[in-house]
Amino acid sequence: MVRRLAGLKARLTWNGVRGDVQRRFGLPIALILLTWLGVWLAGAYIETARSLQSQDPEALAEFMGWVALFTFFAWVALPVIIFPLDENLDPQQLALLPITPNHMITGLVVASFIAPSTVIPLLLIGANAAILTAGWWMVIPASLVFLGLLAVGSQLFSASISAILRTRRGRDVATFLVLGIAGGSFLLYRSVSQTVAAEGVTAAAASHPIMQWSLLLPPVAAQQAIVQAAAGDPIPALVALTAAVVGLLAMAAAWRKLLGWLLTTPEQRNRPAARARRSGMAFGPWGVVPTLARKELRFYVRDPRQRLVWTGTVIFVGLAIGGVVMNATGFFDFREREWAPLVAPVLVLFVGLPIALNLFGWERNAASYLFVLPSKPRQLLLGKNLAVAAALVVETTVLTIGLALFSSNWHWIWLVVPLTVAAIGCQLAVGNLVSVLAPLRLPREGTDVFAQSTEQGCLAIVSQTVSFFAIGLLLIPPASVTVLTVEFGQVINPWITAAFAVVWGLTLYLLSLLLAGRLLRRRMPEVLAWVQVS
Partner 1 sequence: MVFVAAYFFGYWPHPSILGEVTQPLVEDPTTDSVEAPPAVWAKGLVRKFGKTVAVDHVDLSIRPGEFYGLLGQNGAGKTTTIKTIVGLLRPNEGTVGVGEFDTWQSPTEVKARIGVLPEEFNLYERLTGAELLDFTAAMHGLSREEAARRRNELLDMLDLSEEGSKLIGDYSRGMRKKIALGAAIIHRPPVLFLDEPFEGVDAVSARLIRSLLQRAAQGGTTIIFSSHEMHLVEKLCTRIGIMVEGRMTIEETPEGLCRLMGVNNVEDAFIAAVGGKTPDDWSWYAG
For 123-167, the three-class secondary structure string (H helix, E strand, C coil) is: HHHHHHHHHCHHHHHHHHHHHHHHHHHHHHHHHHHHHHHHHHHHC
Q: What is the dihedral of CA 161, 163, 168, 172, to 10 degrees?
A: -20
Stretch that binds partner 1, among 242-250, 395-403, 451-459, 518-526 (CB under 8 A): 518-526
* Closer CB to partner 1, 327 or 507, in the complex: 507
Alpha-carbon distance of 351 to 250, in angstroms, equals 38
For residue 430, which of 467, 382, 381, 387 has the smallest C-alpha distance?
467
Nearer to partner 1, 50 or 376 (CB): 376
Q: Is there binding between residue 516 and partner 1 (CB under 8 A)? A: no
| Count of residues engaged in binding partner 1, rule: CB under 8 A | 51
Q: Return the residue of 210, 509, 519, 530 that touches partner 1, per CB under 8 A.
A: 509
φ and ψ at residue 209, rounded to 5 degrees: -65, 140
How crowded is residue 523: how many other Cβ atoms within 10 Å of its Cβ? 17
* Smallest gap from residue 95 Cβ to partner 1 (A): 19
Please identify, among the stretches 132-140, 198-206, 274-282, 450-458, the one whose residues bind partner 1 according to the rule CB under 8 A: 274-282
Residue 287 touching partner 1 (CB under 8 A): yes
Contact between 32 and partner 1 (CB under 8 A)? no
Ordered alpha helix ranges (H), 209-272: 218-230, 234-264
Is 513 a binding residue for partner 1 by CB under 8 A? The answer is yes
Minimum distance of partner 1 from residue 135's CB (angstroms): 52
Is-contact 116 27, C-beta < 8 A? yes
Contacts of 180 (CB under 8 A, 6+ apart): none
18 binds partner 1 per the rule CB under 8 A? no
> Is 501 near partner 1 (CB under 8 A)?
no
Stretch of residues binding partner 1 (CB under 8 A), selected from 125-133, 208-216, 277-285, 407-415: 277-285
State the virtual CA torsion across 298, 304, 310, 316 in degrees, nearest 10.
170
Total length of the chain: 534
Window 357 to 376, contacts with partner 1 (CB under 8 A): 365-369, 371-376
> Half-sphere exposure of 500 toward its Cβ, with a 13 Å CA cutoff?
16
C-beta of residue 146 within 8 angstroms of C-beta of residue 244: yes
If one asks whether residue 182 binds partner 1 (CB under 8 A), the answer comes out as no
**Closest C-alpha to 249, from 154, 153, 166:** 153
Q: Which of 103, 190, 208, 295 binds partner 1 (CB under 8 A)?
A: 295
Binding partner 1 by CB under 8 A: which of 151, 248, 389, 403?
389
Segment contacting partner 1 by CB under 8 A, of 200-208, 220-228, 379-387, 455-463: 379-387
Q: How far is the CB of 367 from partner 1 (least distance, A)?
A: 8
Least distance from C-beta 26 to partner 1, angstroms?
20
What is the smallest separation between the CB atom of 526 and partner 1, expressed in angstroms?
Answer: 8
DSSP state of 287: S
Report the residue number, 385 or 464, with the smaller CB distance to partner 1.
385
DSSP 8-38: HHHHHHHHHHHH-HHHHHHHHHHHHHHHHHH
- Of 84 and 383, CB closest to partner 1: 383
Say whether residue 291 binds partner 1 (CB under 8 A): yes
> Three-state SS string across 478-508, please?
HHHHHHHHHCCCCCCCHHHHHHHHHHHHHHH
Residue 263 class from Cβ within 10 Å (0-12 exposed, 13-18 middle, 19+ buried)?
middle
Q: Give the residue with the Cβ less far from partner 1, 82 or 288.
A: 288
Binding mask 316-345 for partner 1 (x = CB under 8 A): ------------------------------
Helices (H), 438-493: 454-486
User: Would you say 256 or 294 has its CB closer to partner 1?
Assistant: 294
Q: Which is nearer to partner 1, 252 or 527 (CB)?
A: 527
Q: Whose Cβ is closer to partner 1: residue 191's or residue 365's?
A: 365
Of 179-187, 198-206, 294-302, 347-355, which part binds partner 1 (CB under 8 A)?
294-302
- Contacting residue, 37, 46, 94, 276, with partner 1 by CB under 8 A: 276
* Interacting span for partner 1 (CB under 8 A) from 35-43, 199-207, 295-303, 393-401: 295-303
Whether the Cβ atoms of residue 452 and residue 87 lie closer than 8 Å to each other:
yes
Asked if 281 touches partner 1 (CB under 8 A), the answer is yes
**Rounded to whole angstroms, how far apart are CA atoms 263 and 446?**
10
Cα-only R_g, the chain: 25
Burial of 132 (0-12, 13-18, 19+ CB in 10 A): buried
Task: Choose the stretch contacting partner 1; rule: CB under 8 A; options: 45-53, 96-104, 147-155, 290-298.
Answer: 290-298
Judged by CB under 8 A, the residue of 4, 257, 278, 444 near partner 1 is 278
Please tell me whether residue 177 adopts helix, strand or coil conformation: helix
Contacting residues toward partner 1, per CB under 8 A = 267, 269-270, 272, 276-282, 286-289, 291-292, 295, 298-299, 302-303, 365-369, 371-376, 378-379, 382, 385-386, 389, 421, 425, 502, 506, 509-510, 513, 521, 524-526, 528
